[in-house]
């Protein structure tokens, strides 16, 4: 494959082939150039379901999907949702995949309270060729590991001291030391106050009560003393 600006040019007499360096080759009146211009290579493909899928409410699945088109020359591609009436109630996860074999995994989540049925050959995503710099990725991982590595000189945050004390009552010294290191390493996992807990709305939590009938009770005044 060569860029379009470097394509050989056929002269009018059909016997000379002009190369990019302005030299000529005698073609003896016959030229056959099976070239594929870089701009003509397809890089975006539709992704479709290969078989009927039923996704329960508030559930996610991973399924194998088919690439529509010839992606055999592409090793890395990014998947993303294809907006349509079939995917309005689904979340399609972005991922880097290898589409060269014609099949890729797609992760989908049903964010509704109703069962979602997807028929075969339904287009649910697109797959676009990307360049992945693995050296850079490994470098970023190493940096992240260095940043999150345990620093022995670091002390446990004051907001976690009470948790450490309450959790250490039945532990020996070695276990207390391990717990101390664990709390220091993952101190950002714990909230600093009641206002930084955050909220999530993508998937709702439900509790199945089976066939139990709902009950109704009259409000009762709480006692002001004791428990």
198 in a structural domain? no
Residue 209 lies in a domain: no
Residues 177, 119 within the same domain = no
Q: Are residues 84 and 64 in the same domain?
A: yes
Q: What is the pLDDT of residue 39?
A: 45
Tens of pLDDT, residue by residue over 101-125, are 888 898 888 888 888 888 888 888 8
Is 139 a domain residue?
Answer: no
Backbone angles phi, psi at 38, to 5 degrees: -60, -40
Judge if 102 and 70 occupy the same domain: yes
Do both 124 and 149 map to the same domain? Answer: no
Q: Do 80 and 155 sit in the same domain of this protein?
A: no
Q: In the chain, how many domains are there?
A: 3
pTM above 0.75, yes or no: no
Q: Answer yes or no: do 119 and 180 share one domain.
A: no
Residues 84 and 52 in one domain: yes
Give a yes or no: residue 138 inside a domain. Answer: no
Q: What is the pLDDT of residue 225?
A: 67
Asked if residue 218 belongs to a domain, the reply is no
The reply to whether 49 and 105 lie within a common domain is yes
- CATH classification at residue 125: 2.70.40.10
Note down the domain range covering 15: 4-40
Nearest to 108 by CA among 151, 157, 70, 65: 65
Instruction: Show Cβ contacts of residue 79 under 8 Å, excluding neighbours closer than 6 positions.
Output: 47, 92, 93, 94, 95, 97, 104, 106, 125, 126, 127
Residues of the chain with pLDDT under 50: 1-14, 30-40, 148-152
Are 54 and 97 in the same domain?
yes
Average pLDDT over the chain reads 75
The residue from 129, 157, 180 where one domain ends is: 129
Q: Show the tokens assigned to 139.
A: 């470098």
Residue 68 domain flag: yes
Q: Is residue 206 part of a domain?
A: no
DSSP β-bridge partners for residue 216: none
- The answer as to whether 124 is a domain residue is yes
My answer on whether 36 and 50 are in the same domain is: no
Q: In this structure, are 117 and 48 located in the same domain? A: yes
Among 94, 129, 164, give the residue marking a domain's end: 129
Query: What pLDDT, on a 0 to 100 scale, did the predictor assign at position 30?
Result: 47
- Return the pLDDT at 12: 43
Residue 159 and residue 110: Cα distance in Å, rounded?
38
């Amino acid at each position: 494959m060569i860029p379009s600006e470097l394509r050989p040019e056929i002269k009018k007499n059909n016997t000379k082939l002009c190369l990019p360096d302005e030299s000529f080759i005698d073609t003896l009146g016959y030229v056959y150039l099976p070239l594929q211009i870089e701009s003509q290579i397809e890089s975006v493909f539709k992704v479709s379901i290969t078989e009927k899928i039923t996704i329960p409410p508030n559930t996610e699945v991973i399924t194998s999907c088919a690439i529509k088109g010839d992606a055999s020359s592409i090793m890395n591609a990014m998947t993303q949702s294809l907006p349509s009436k079939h995917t309005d109630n689904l979340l399609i996860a972005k991922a880097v995949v290898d589409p060269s074999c014609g099949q890729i995994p797609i992760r989908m989540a049903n964010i509704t309270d109703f069962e979602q049925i997807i028929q075969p050959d339904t287009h649910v995503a697109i797959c676009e060729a990307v360049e992945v710099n693995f050296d850079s990725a490994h470098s970023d991982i190493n940096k992240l590991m260095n940043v999150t590595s345990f620093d022995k000189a670091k002390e446990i945050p004051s907001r976690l001291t009470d948790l450490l004390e309450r959790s250490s009552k039945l532990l020996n010294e070695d276990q207390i030391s391990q717990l101390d290191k664990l709390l220091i390493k993952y101190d950002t996992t714990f909230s600093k106050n009641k206002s930084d807990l955050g909220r999530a709305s993508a998937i709702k939590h439900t509790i199945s009560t089976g066939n139990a009938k709902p009950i109704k009770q009259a409000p009762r005044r709480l006692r002001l003393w004791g428990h």
